[in-house]
Amino acid sequence: MTEKKIVETLRGKRQSRPPVWFMRQAGRYLPEYRQVRARTDDFLSLCYNPRLAREVTMQPVRRFDLDAAILFSDILVIPDALGQAVRFEEGTGPVLEPLDEEAIDRLDASGMTMRLAPVFETVADIRAELDRSKTLLGFCGAPWTVATYMIGGRSSTDQAATKRFALEKPDAFNRLISVLVEASVDYLVAQLRAGADVVQVFESWAGNIDEEMFRAFVIAPNRRIVEGVRQSIAGAAMIGFPRGAGPHLISFAEKTGYDAIGLDQTVPLAFASTAFDATKPLQGNLDPMRLVVGGAQLDRRIDEIISAFSDRPHIFNLGHGIVPETPIEHVEQMVARVKGN
Amino acid sequence: MTEKKIVETLRGKRQSRPPVWFMRQAGRYLPEYRQVRARTDDFLSLCYNPRLAREVTMQPVRRFDLDAAILFSDILVIPDALGQAVRFEEGTGPVLEPLDEEAIDRLDASGMTMRLAPVFETVADIRAELDRSKTLLGFCGAPWTVATYMIGGRSSTDQAATKRFALEKPDAFNRLISVLVEASVDYLVAQLRAGADVVQVFESWAGNIDEEMFRAFVIAPNRRIVEGVRQSIAGAAMIGFPRGAGPHLISFAEKTGYDAIGLDQTVPLAFASTAFDATKPLQGNLDPMRLVVGGAQLDRRIDEIISAFSDRPHIFNLGHGIVPETPIEHVEQMVARVKGN
């Protein structure tokens, strides 16, 4: 068997059981990851180290025999490569010097390919090591989401600084979005050329803005990325994940052109089953907290998700990234349940 | 004119222009509020001081001639009155000693009426002072939202501790929800008897849980509150505000029985216009950040909201609470625009 189940699913093929991978599958809940991470100075240097990034990418695939590897990296390598320094502080997460209008115009994509060369090397190395039946996913953050860090300077649950900037300085903000669209297209194309089979675009902070901003800063840039990538690579397989998009979900799916839409855990199964076209590939959407807790509720919810999407192409996933306190046995339980073992 | 526009709207009557009030209208963006607040030791003592709570409740009504006053209080007076001490720390917000299973069983509603007596006195005093044409809103937090503070100990954007507790200890968690349902019913009934014309239930943290938890911990308790209040006061006018409910919004509306549903700013106008029954009263939903920024975009968005809901009973409001940095002139601009002045 050498076909890649996830690629086939994105092409519209229903599988006998949904292929499975999960967000942040290479991460802190794994002791072997923590061991590697302890040997590196900072988080970004791990992302830029092909040997170690490949190693942590492969760890969950080896341990759980998942259907996909996802490149170990971070959505903030793009601002970093555009010249806005990013550092990760223990307990705080990413910290950036917030951009003002002038700093937006100083962003410089000319060195991006060189700065991100280790990432493409990592992709090629993973693809060489990964079994041919398994899918390699590349990814990037969507422009609005990445902009919330670039303008806000750190993770923000209400994205207040960025919303305000976007409304007060629409021209400058649109320039930033355009820079990010172009950088994302180049970055994804390079990942695909280096060996990624599929790319996923993470719109992690789409859940707090009104429809006008959603259209301008979420839907339009995501569509431009899909179109841009496919101008370079016809038929490139792409997944969009607009976390928290709620009632915007259908219009996001219809207007962006992604092959599949990733669903967060808040999306009701019956809503997804009926609101999306019956042939639309969907990915998701187990609440990561159910994986932390485990037991009978976990099996029951996995069954409900699989059953709800049994008539369409479906990739099993969490609704958000796995959390560090997740017991590994619960991950084993989930993978076995999805695989019908 | 002595009819209360907001009460009439909740009864299904369209108005020549939507009545207007807004969440956190008594608050830190007002200099006269900051002056009163500076004279009180802590936030809860302001909530429990009838003279001062009435004063800050009336401030925005006097300044902007709004169509409603909303009782100045906090959703955490219920845990406080049940015996779980609440304190407000500068910069952090509310801090509680997180409940464990035993502490849930020690919660005691017997002293609640006495502890909250100053609130009911405040309600009566406001009603006596408020023009008869204006609506007085009482409120409480919905059980899930209040529980996230009681279990988590503070505001949590992912409600992880509470989700985990609910999944790991469902019996204890359901006992907590039941205590909160009963306390909320008693509290709202007492507010209505003291003179509130309408009550609003704030489900502020409904946007991160899956459908099974949403049904059990959001829809069911809200329905029990609506039924419980109306058992004591037939036809009590009630607004439900499930912030972030996204694709659950319609089932929330259909299953809870609130007269009106408050919409946060993420709800697209076209979605709301078509997904809700054409006669359903709706409230909302300007993004508070648009009010911070002001200018032409503010007028345009206000017009879009009013126009989208012009065929149904509509109460103009923000999609979330006003933020402290909001310029007062922008509030004046908004109120004038809504009133057609």
CB distance from A127 to chain B under 8 Å? no
CB contact under 8 A, A214 and B319: no
Q: Indicate the pTM of the whole model.
A: 0.96
Interface touch B210/A266, C-beta < 8 Å: yes
CB contact under 8 A, A266 and B214: yes
Average pLDDT in chain A: 96
Residues A74-116 pLDDT 10s: 999 999 999 999 999 888 899 999 999 999 999 999 999 899 9
Are residues B267 and B207 in contact, defined by beta-carbon separation less than 8 angstroms?
no
- CB < 8 Å from B in window 12-31 of A: none
Q: What was the pLDDT predicted at A162?
A: 97
Which among B148, B210, B250, B301 is the top mutation candidate for probing chain A, defined by the most A β-carbons within 10 Å of its own β-carbon?
B210
Cβ of A167 within 8 Å of Cβ of B244? The answer is: no
pLDDT tens per residue, range B8-36? 999 999 999 999 999 999 999 999 999 99
Alpha carbon of A301 to those of A264, A289, A341: distances in Å?
14, 12, 17
Distance CA B51, CA B41 (A): 15
Q: In terms of Cα–Cα distance, which of A279, A181, A281 is closest to A231? A: A181
Using an 8 Å CB-CB cutoff, list chain B residues near A211: 266, 268-270
Instruction: For chain A, give the number of residues.
Output: 341
Tokens of A63: 């341990």
Distance, C-alpha A317 to centroid of its chain: 11
Report pLDDT for A70.
Answer: 98
B266:A207 CB<8 A: yes
- The per-residue pLDDT of chain B, averaged, comes to 96
What pLDDT is stored for residue A157 in this prediction? 87
B290 at A interface, C-beta within 8 A: yes
The arithmetic mean of pLDDT across residues B47-67, rounded, is 98
Burial class (CB in 10 A: 0-12, 13-18, 19+), B262: buried
CA–CA distance, B272 with B259 (Å, rounded to integer) = 15
pLDDT < 70 positions in chain A: 1-2
Looking from the CA of A47 toward its CB, the CA atoms found within 13 Å total 19
Contacts of B210 in chain A (CB under 8 A): 265-266, 285, 287, 290, 301, 319
Q: Calculate what percentage of chain B has a pLDDT beyond 70.
A: 99
Q: Give the domains, in start order, of chain A with CATH numbers.
A: 5-339 (3.20.20.210)
Helices (H) and strands (E) in chain B, counts: 18, 9
- Residue written as tokens 């009180």? B40
Residue A1: per-residue pLDDT: 52
Who among B160, B211, B251 is closest to A289 (CB)?
A: B160
Q: How far apart are CA A285 and CA B322, in angstroms?
A: 33
For residue B154, what pLDDT band results from cuts at 50, 70 and 90?
very high
- Please state, in angstroms and as integers, the Cα–Cα distance from residue B268 to each residue in A165, A245, B251, B308, following that order: 22, 11, 17, 10
- Cβ within 8 Å, pair A248-B266: yes
Instruction: Indicate which of A208, A214, A285, A289 best probes the interface with B, i.e. most B CBs within 10 Å of its own CB.
Output: A289
Query: A206-223 burial by CB neighbour count: b if 16+ within 10 A, else e?
Result: bbbbbbbbbbbbbbbbbb
Is a pLDDT exceeding 70 seen at residue B158?
A: yes
Per-residue pLDDT tens digits for B296-326: 999 999 999 999 999 999 999 999 999 999 9
In chain B, residues 257-276 whose CB comes closer than 8 Å to chain A: 265-271, 275
Burial pattern A282-301, b for ≥16 Cβ within 10 A else e, equals bbbbbbbbbbbbbeeebeeb
Burial of A275 (C-beta count, 10 Å sphere; 0-12/13-18/19+): middle
